[in-house]
Amino acid sequence: MTATKTNERPGTRAQVKYVRSSAYKVREVLNLIRGKSFFEATNILTFSERRISDTVLKCLNSAAANAENNDDIPVEELFVSACYADEGPTLKRWRPRARGRATRIRKRTCHITLILGRYSPEELTEQRERAELKGSQTQQSAAESRKRRVAKSKESELESQSEEDQSEDDSEIIAEEVEVSPTEQQETTEESDVESEDSPYGEGSAFALEDGSAPSSDFVIKAKVSTKIYHPEESSFFGRTKADVWFTNAEAAEAAGFRLPNSMQNDDAESEEDQNNNDGENE
């Protein structure tokens, strides 16, 4: 009686070639999952401490994806029917040793093959009965879980789009309710322009005329915008300064951010000190 050849075994297979590991190390991991269901094999490889277990797990997932997409077999009905590791080409290297000698280094490679079979209906019913007795639920296939995630993401996108459309409609309604006629808007802008031209720096301020003179007799303080300095009538620079802005009083100029010249600030400080000294002597 002739046995079934390796390349003729029924089932869905996946293969990883030229893995940089020896076949002996891979076979120790493959012996743990041979004959196990897909979910049991996945758990064993996930929690295995061997480094090659990650490569074997990738090969197992590839075989399961081939079974789902190509053969329309759900993951719950799959088990590891066969798994083996063949030796690949060996990379030969040399390591220098004492007395001019050399030692050969062999870097082994291997080819990993996994074949997933399908449980019979009787075996499936038996497994489900065992799961019900244990109280554990059957795990969902990767395709079904992926479909559910895609459906949830589409629902969330539709909800966000509906909320955006509703917010746009609300904003349009508010804009229609608060819409102002162009004539009223033009009047308000003209009024604001007139107010800004009349009092550029608040109440008590006005722009100078073309020759630098005051717009009326109420404005008695000159100011330069470039230096932010204002000059009252008692300032020595009052007659020599061509004003950009006029103020009615010093308080309005200071409120607008203008200041006295340094010479007048020093005089004010000295006068305050003299007054304080006189007050002290009188006491």
Mean residue pLDDT of the chain comes to: 80
Q: Which pTM was predicted? A: 0.48
The distance in angstroms from the start CA to the end CA of the chain is 134
Q: How far apart are CA 150 and CA 52, in angstroms?
A: 32
DSSP class of 257: T
**3-class SS at 138?**
coil
Q: Which two tokens stand for residue 86?
A: 């063949």
Where do the domains of the chain lie? 8-95+103-141, 196-282
Most confidently predicted of 1-5, 89-93, 188-192: 89-93
Q: If DSSP states are collapsed to H, E and C, what string results for 196-221? A: HHHCCCCCCEEECCCCCCCCCCCCCE
**Any residues with CB less than 8 A from the CB of 12 and at least 6 apart, and which?**
63, 66, 67, 70, 71, 73, 78, 115, 116
Of 257, 195, 186, which Cα lies nearest the Cα of 225?
257
Backbone φ and ψ for 37, nearest 5 degrees, come out as: -70, 170
CATH number of 8-95+103-141: 3.90.470.10
Q: Which two tokens stand for residue 42?
A: 């996945």
| Number of helices followed by number of strands (H, E) in the chain | 8, 9
Q: Does residue 96 have a pLDDT over 80?
A: yes
**Amino acid (one-letter) located at 211:** D
Task: Decide: 63 and 42 in contact? Cβ < 8 Å.
Answer: no
Section 169-184 average pLDDT? 57
pLDDT at residue 232 in the model: 83
Q: Which two tokens stand for residue 8?
A: 């003729």
Question: Which H or E run includes 278?
Answer: helix 262-282
Task: Decide: 260 and 251 in contact? Cβ < 8 Å.
Answer: no
Q: How far apart are CA 263 and CA 73, in angstroms?
A: 97
Match 């996108």 to its residue by tokens: 157
Range with lowest mean pLDDT among 77-81, 101-105, 130-134, 193-197: 193-197
DSSP class of 179: -
pLDDT at residue 179 in the model: 52
Of 17, 30, 16, 20, which Cα lies nearest the Cα of 90?
20
Q: How far apart are CA 250 and CA 270, in angstroms?
A: 19
Match 């480094």 to its residue by tokens: 51
141 or 43: which leads in pLDDT = 43
Which CA distances in Å does 243 have to 4, 79, 223, 229? Answer: 109, 96, 5, 10
**3-class SS at 225?**
coil
pLDDT band for 5, please (50, 70, 90 cuts): low
Most confidently predicted of 44-53, 123-132, 216-225, 246-255: 44-53
pLDDT at residue 197 in the model: 55
Q: Which two tokens stand for residue 177?
A: 């309710």
Exposed / middle / buried, residue 214 (Cβ in 10 Å: 0-12, 13-18, 19+) = middle
Q: Does residue 81 have a pLDDT over 90?
A: yes
